[in-house]
Amino acid sequence: MPEIKVTPLGAGQDVGRSCILVSIGGKNIMLDCGMHMGYNDDRRFPDFSYITQNGRLTDFLDCVIISHFHLDHCGALPYMSEMVGYDGPIYMTHPTKAICPILLEDFRKITVDKKGETNFFTSQMIKDCMKKVIPLNLHQTVQVDDELEIKAYYAGHVLGAAMVHIKVGSESVVYTGDYNMTPDRHLGAAWIDKCRPDILISESTYATTIRDSKRCRERDFLKKVHESIERGGKVLIPVFALGRAQELCILLETFWERMNLKAPIYFSTGLTEKANHYYKLFITWTNQKIRKTFVQRNMFEFKHIKAFDRSYADNPGPMVVFATPGMLHAGQSLQIFKKWAGNEKNMVIMPGYCVQGTIGHKILNGQRKLEMEGRATLDVKLQVEYMSFSAHADAKGIMQLIRMAEPRNMLLVHGEAVKMEFLKGKIEQEFSIDCYMPANGETTTVTTNPSVPVDISLNLLKREMALGGPLPDPKKPRTMHGTLIMKENSLKLVSSEQALKELGLNEHQLRFTCHVQLQDPHSDADTLHRIYTHLKSVLKGYTIQHLPDGTVIVESIVIKVSSSTEDSNTKVLLLSWSYQVQIGPHSTLKKVIVT
């Protein structure tokens, strides 16, 4: 039986450094090639030595597919392609291809320039790597080689995020990457055909959560910002440069527009501006509202949001500032936070997850006195709010996707093991399909039952149609006669005559014969005649012929009479019939004659 093997090198029962190997129909595919944020050593990147101990990966992989531009999905790409060595095709969507290098370059700068690491990929390597990338369009079927084809579906999550459908022959796998089933302010919801893949590899970040309605969250967020602004306070929103930041920007921008507010909104410069440029370009990847209105006005051309300058932080009056990074651990957001922390009118809104040890984590935890470097302490008087704007599918969303795609097997990655366990149980219970959750390096094997396509000759089909009922009933299988020819890797079902002709074989006829002994004193000819008359009287409705050469033919059964060599009274009756009649009328005949 053919098998599909799935081995996560990263993201197996874990979040981070997504990298999943799939071998399907003799093809090896790498899905995502990410890095782990939590490590600074070798564990940062997936263990490519799993594929081969030495040498390049090109011989072992048919293609690499990157689902979206987050570093935990594409961070190890230059390392793999340039340092380990891979020259095959890399597929990603257009926006991913555009934004990915910016993030990689930023990542490189931080690790090399700031932390001073050596033996890291260089800018040139990023460029070289990007040259190998083949861009994908949504719903475009790309033929990687003769047998392997891939197709991208919209995944929400971030700009350009895609789910991929990988197909070899009749076997197929869908990899979701990260996806979001609820639309947000700038992106739509993930969608997929009823493509019935053999395996659906899904992320499961929120395997145990059913989220509240998005609107409540948005409303709360806007209300808090609005109230604070009306009080004359300043609002700090620490964000990571891409993804949520844009959503929040749109949210605030439209709110400002609607409510006719005048307080300035600032966006810390740098990376974001470049990325915003791409958001403006890839309008087709955004949600309905932005797509429909961009002719009048591109929503990403912000009217109220301006670039931030360090000096603005001291300006009097209300303002809203988006600043990086999102966990308040360094950089601009921290600087601003320090300036504003003392005033209770101000507010900081944390729109996402904060790692333990960061200031973001501390203040969310309710700490009101922070120790800064140099033994100084900082009184936190400003209000601290938490607002989740994470764009992963929740448990309901995952179930919804399963319902949409109707997979035969399910495989969970990109989540915590405990939570996966829960979801796995649910999936098995609801859909009664197998669900797997391999750990890193663990291989899951799924046997498939591929249907084998066979060409059938039209004549044969028509003949069969003519024989049978009015229409082929799709629910009932039907048997038919024909010859299966396997030739040069293709299968054909043809009529036997044609098969003989094609293969250059002679037709052999199979005849069944049997001898029946009778005690009859008459001569051979008389006996035959008597049999003939008897049959005529008994078998009405059959054509019975008495041929001059001493045979009686009933339909296609031949009867001959000869005398036994020992006893002339014992007549030997020779019956002979062809294979086709075997099932048919001969039994009756036999019965008749015997009696």
Stretch of residues binding another protein (CB under 8 A), selected from 32-40, 62-70, 255-263, 543-551? 255-263
Q: Out of 116, 470, 477, 541, which residue is the one contacting another protein (CB under 8 A)? A: 470
Name the nearest CA neighbour of 360 among 389, 380, 390: 380
**Minimal distance, residue 427 CB to another protein, in Å:** 8
| 570 is an interface residue for another protein by CB under 8 A | no
**What string of DSSP letters covers 114-127?**
IT---S---HHHHH
CA torsion angle 424 429 434 437 (round to 10): 0
Decide if residue 481 touches another protein (CB under 8 A): no
Q: Tell which one of 83, 222, 370, 433 touches another protein (CB under 8 A).
A: 222
The interface region with another protein, picked from 3-11, 163-171, 188-196, 576-584 by CB under 8 A, is 188-196
Q: Binding to another protein by residue 143, rule CB under 8 A? A: no
d(CA 355, CA 369): 19
Of 301 and 430, nearer to another protein (C-beta) is 430
Among 273, 309, 430, 497, contact with another protein (rule: CB under 8 A): 430
Please name the residue ranges forming H helices in 387-471. Answer: 395-405, 417-431, 458-467
Asked if 368 interacts with another protein (CB under 8 A), we say no
Rounded to an integer, what distance in angstroms lies between the CA atom of residue 184 and that of residue 243? 11
Burial of 123 (0-12, 13-18, 19+ CB in 10 A): middle
54 token code pair = 């030495």
213 binds another protein (CB under 8 A): yes
Instruction: Determine the interface stretch with another protein among 95-103, 135-143, 426-434, 555-563 (rule: CB under 8 A).
Output: 426-434
Closer Cβ to another protein, 79 or 256, answer by number: 256
Rounded Cα distance, 235 and 340, in Å: 9
132 forms part of the interface with another protein (CB under 8 A): no
Separation between Cα atoms, residue 415 and residue 18, nearest integer Å: 10
Binding piece for another protein, criterion CB under 8 A, among 3-11, 165-173, 347-355, 564-572: 347-355
Residue of 158, 192, 327, 380 that binds another protein (CB under 8 A): 192
Residue ranges of the alpha helices (H) in 116-213? Answer: 123-131
Assess 215 for contact with another protein (CB under 8 A).
yes
Q: How many residues of this chain interact with another protein, rule: CB under 8 A?
A: 65
For residue 337, state whether it binds another protein (rule: CB under 8 A).
Answer: no
**Residue of 404, 538, 558, 593 interacting with another protein (CB under 8 A):** 404
CA distances from 595 to 21, 535, 546 (A): 74, 11, 20
Interaction between residue 367 and another protein (CB under 8 A): no
189 contacts another protein (rule: CB under 8 A): yes
In this complex, which beta carbon is closest to another protein, that of residue 203 or of residue 520? 203
DSSP H or E stretch at residue 436: strand 434-436
Cβ of residue 468: shortest distance to another protein, in angstroms? 12
User: Which positions are annotated as active-site residues?
Assistant: 203
Q: Does residue 120 touch another protein according to CB under 8 A?
A: no
Looking at the DSSP bridge assignments, the partners of residue 265 are: 305, 320
Q: Which of 170, 335, 400, 551 binds another protein (CB under 8 A)?
A: 400
Tokens matching residue 499: 């098969």
Nearest to 266 by CA among 239, 293, 289: 239
What Å distances lie between residue 290 and 139, 318, 547, CA to CA? 20, 28, 90
Binding status of residue 240 toward another protein by CB under 8 A: no
Q: Distance from CA of residue 37 to its chain's centroid?
A: 25
What is the x/- site pattern for another protein, positions 276-315, by CB under 8 A? -----------xxx--------------------------
Instruction: State yes or no: residue 220 binds another protein (CB under 8 A).
Output: yes
CB 193 within 8 A of CB 405: yes
Choice between 288 and 311, CB closer to another protein: 288
Contact map string, positions 14 to 33, toward another protein, x by CB under 8 A = --------------------
Q: Sign of the C-alpha dihedral, residues 116, 121, 125, 127? A: negative
List Cβ neighbours of 536 (8 Å cut-off, separation of 6 or more).
544
Question: Is residue 556 classed as helix, strand or coil in its secondary structure?
Answer: coil
AA letter at 65: I
Question: Is the CB of 117 or the CB of 257 nearer to another protein?
Answer: 257
CB 393 within 8 A of CB 203: yes
Cβ neighbours around 584 below 10 Å, total: 14
Rule CB under 8 A: choose which of 5, 127, 132, 226 binds another protein: 226
Closest CB 183 distance from another protein, rounded Å? 4
Interaction between residue 5 and another protein (CB under 8 A): no
**Of 414-422, 486-494, 499-507, 529-537: span binding another protein (CB under 8 A):** 414-422
Per the DSSP assignment, residues forming a β-bridge with 544 are: 554
Would you say 132 and 81 are in contact if contact means Cβ atoms under 8 Å apart?
Answer: yes
Q: Is 211 exposed, middle or buried (0-12, 13-18, 19+ CB in 10 A)?
A: middle
Minimum distance of another protein from residue 305's CB (angstroms): 16
| Helical axes 123-131 vs 94-108, angle rounded to 10° | 160
Say if residues 72 and 414 touch (Cβ distance below 8 Å): no
Q: Which is nearer to another protein, 54 or 288 (CB)?
A: 288
Can residue 403 be called a binding residue for another protein (CB under 8 A)? Answer: yes
* Beta carbon nearer to another protein, 56 or 289: 289
Looking at the Cβ atoms of 56 and 217, the one nearer to another protein is 217
Q: Which is nearer to another protein, 132 or 289 (CB)?
A: 289
Structure tokens at 407: 């997979």
- For tokens 């350009």, the residue is 160
Task: Answer yes or no: are the C-beta atoms of 236 and 321 closer than 8 Å.
Answer: yes
Is residue 478 a contact residue for another protein (CB under 8 A)?
no
428 binds another protein (CB under 8 A): no
Q: Does residue 365 bind another protein (CB under 8 A)?
A: yes
Q: Which positions lie near another protein, rule CB under 8 A? A: 182-183, 185, 188-189, 191-194, 206, 208-220, 222-223, 226, 254, 257-260, 287-289, 350, 352-353, 356, 364-365, 386-390, 394-396, 399-400, 403-404, 418-419, 422, 425-426, 430-431, 469-472, 474-475
